[in-house]
């Protein structure tokens, strides 16, 4: 029965509250770039649309079809991504990956909201879903930069 206790710890009220309140849900009419990422293990998907100016996100939307953990991660991203540079989002992605897979610290502000997902370290099969929103955002920002240069 300890597995049940672990799941209760994992799906905390904070995670469920974040999953129920994801900022910037939907799609943009005229994004600079759109990227869809899928977790092959669980089938979760996140599609991100971005508009960038001077290397920073100025508009953002996301279509999230993921488990509560993937939704909570997308919620954290949606709350802080406007105004972020690609380097900041890449750093957050790398820090979140290290937090989950290597026992690293919580990502730095403004992405420190990922602290809520610390209990997910023990659930390796959930890591890909948790990383989707950041991975899609990084890729979309890179594509937007290429589009601006063309």
- Residue ranges and CATH numbers for the domains of the chain are 2-149 (3.90.1010.10)
Task: Identify the pLDDT of residue 53.
Answer: 96
Average pLDDT per 10 consecutive residues for the chain, totaling 150 residues: 54 88 97 96 94 97 96 98 98 98 96 95 93 98 88
Global confidence as pTM: 0.91
Residue 69's region, left for phi above 0, alpha for psi from -120 to 50, else beta, is: alpha
Task: Identify the pLDDT of residue 2.
Answer: 47
Query: Strand, coil or helix: what is 3?
Result: helix
CA distance 111 to 97: 13
Q: Give the DSSP per-residue string, 110-137.
A: TSGGGGGGGGGGG-GGGHHHHHHHHHHH
- Give, in order, the Cα–Cα distances in Å from 130 to each of 3, 99, 145: 20, 11, 25
């Amino acid at each position: 029965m300890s597995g049940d206790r672990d799941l209760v710890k994992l799906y905390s009220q904070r995670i469920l509250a974040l999953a129920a309140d994801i900022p910037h849900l939907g799609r943009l009419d005229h994004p600079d770039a759109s990227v869809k990422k899928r977790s092959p293990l669980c089938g979760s998907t996140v599609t991100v649309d971005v508009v960038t100016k001077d290397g920073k996100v100025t508009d953002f939307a996301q279509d999230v079809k993921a488990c509560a953990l993937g939704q909570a991660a997308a919620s954290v991203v949606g709350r802080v991504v406007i105004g972020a540079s690609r380097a900041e989002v890449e750093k957050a992605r790398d820090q979140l990956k290290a937090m989950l897979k290597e026992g690293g610290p919580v990502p730095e502000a403004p992405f420190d909201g990922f602290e809520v997902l610390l209990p997910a370290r023990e659930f390796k099969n959930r890591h890909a879903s948790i990383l989707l929103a950041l991975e899609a955002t990084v890729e979309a920002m890179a594509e937007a930069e290429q589009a601006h240069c063309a």
